[in-house]
Chain A
Amino acid sequence: GAVVSQHPSWVICKSGTSVKIECRSLDFQATTMFWYRQFPKQSLMLMATSNEGSKATYEQGVEKDKFLINHASLTLSTLTVTSAHPEDSSFYICSGTRDASYEQYFGPGTRLTVT
């Protein structure tokens, strides 16, 4: 159990456009979801934490107006990259946790390329 999916798995978009990435917990209710960004051959950097029904908490240095996060239900969180630019190209990974769980369940990631 505890499967997290992401859609799309990869996306190419033009500079200036917006792109939405979905993160779904398939067989559990994720009260908290996390969004990470990973550059090639680097570690995961936490972007934001979202709790269902609440505004996301962004990490220092992450622009909340550029990376819009919505966690409208216990099984779905979305990350929208607005007015994307080539420097936003990255691998975006989400994860979800159940209440008081010691484990984060990770999605397979979404590769975003902005041309």
Chain B
Amino acid sequence: GEDVEQSLFLSVREGDSSVINCTYTDSSSTYLYWYKQEPGAGLQLLTYIFSNMDMKQDQRLTVLLNKKDKHLSLRIADTQTGDSAIYFCAERRGGGNKLTFGTGTQLKVEL
């Protein structure tokens, strides 16, 4: 995960929007993903974006990709307490199907 960086912690109020950022280094990344991990559990795929896209929206989730700056973000609209978890970005490089995960961002949603 050392090549994919995320801020460690984000705290938001319920109902506000959350923006989680991710910076990666490999320009050959083909797919970029956002996963959610709740305590003691595996990973749940939230959404993904192909590298030739700039934006993808899926209900409350909006992914923005800036290939020039190698920056990926996940915006969660109307954040709820159930969104509290750790969020990982991940990149799939080149033609392979291995994933490189980011360092993870702990999202805390307060009432």
Contact = CB atoms under 8 A, between A and B. Distances in A.
A109 B41 contact: yes
Please classify how large the interface on chain B is, using the bins under 10, 10 to 19, 20 to 34, 35 or more: 20 to 34
Nearest to B45: A103
Contacts of B97: 32, 97, 101, 104
A97 B92 CA distance: 13
Given A44-B88, A97-B97, A103-B45, A109 B104 contact: no
11 contacts: A6-B42, A32-B97, A34-B98, A34-B99, A42-B103, A42-B104, A43-B102, A93-B43, A102-B48, A108-B41, A108-B42
Interface string B68-106: 000000000000000000001000100001111111100
Contacts, number: 51
A107 B42 contact: yes
Contact of B40 (A41, A97, A107, A109): A109
Given A6-B42, A34-B98, A103-B45, 5 more contacts: A43-B1, A93-B43, A102-B92, A105-B45, A106-B45
Given A43-B104, A44-B101, A108-B41, A102 B31 contact: yes
